[in-house]
Structure 1
Amino acid sequence: MAGNGAGLTWTTSINSADLASLANGSSVLSSVADIANGTNLDQFMDLSVRCAIASSTIAAGANLALWLYALLDDGSTYGDGQLVAGTQAVKTPVFAPCATIPLVAAASQTTLVGAAGGVFNSPYNSIPNSVVETPTSLDYITGGLT
């Protein structure tokens, strides 16, 4: 079913600029406006990820891990408070990811793609590569049971 928020339209969750040159082992909190789910009340979110990298061999077990960085009760702190919107940091959230997208192990890859069902806000690059400038996107659609 279509959701009340983004519905069946893919909507930007993280700007390309936030993800540009994201180094291995780094995280970034999206600078896109919050997903207003307090009003929309969507229960589910699907994710679509596309990252451009310099031609590289992706090892078996490489993945993109995604975390939900929820707004806490103080109205200003997100998740564990380690990340600042739009600022890349060599940090791993202290709680478990809400989704992990396995990557295809192969040589000479220049694009990493995948999808996951779940809820999301902050990516962590656990591949031995940096993300290049463009094209890079992380989008979402929402839905619920009615």
Structure 2
Amino acid sequence: MRRIAIAAAATVSIVVLLFSYRTSSDQAPVATQPARTTSPPAAGATSGSDGTFTGDAADTRYGPVQVRITVAGGRITDAQAVQYPQESGRDVRINSSAVPELNQEALQAQNAQIDTVSGATYTSEGYQQSLQSAIDAAHR
């Protein structure tokens, strides 16, 4: 009976250790060089923030992510990732579905508080950071 109790306690200890082991780093993406471009407001536009704005590139574990938005009437009318990881087949496979989803999320949310795409956490975090940079540029 004592051996069973010791074996059970050892098993529980091992399971707790396995669940507490972190498999990925908690490194936050860091912005790199500014890469902002703006286009002049459309004729007759009343808002000073209308145009096309490219956010700063955000470095991620797998490569930079950069977002360009188009603003008309004070609303984001288009959001496109213009740079994102595509170095490996895995990057292409993940981001071919994640990037369109992130673009759509940005249009729906109208801000950088968008959901992270499962399986594309680093790209999502970089996208959010670059999107916020583009939104900030639109408000200048």
Q: TM-score, normalised by structure 2?
A: 0.32
Higher RCO by CA contacts (8 Å cutoff, separation 6 or greater): 1
Where is the strand percentage greater, Structure 1 or Structure 2?
A: 1
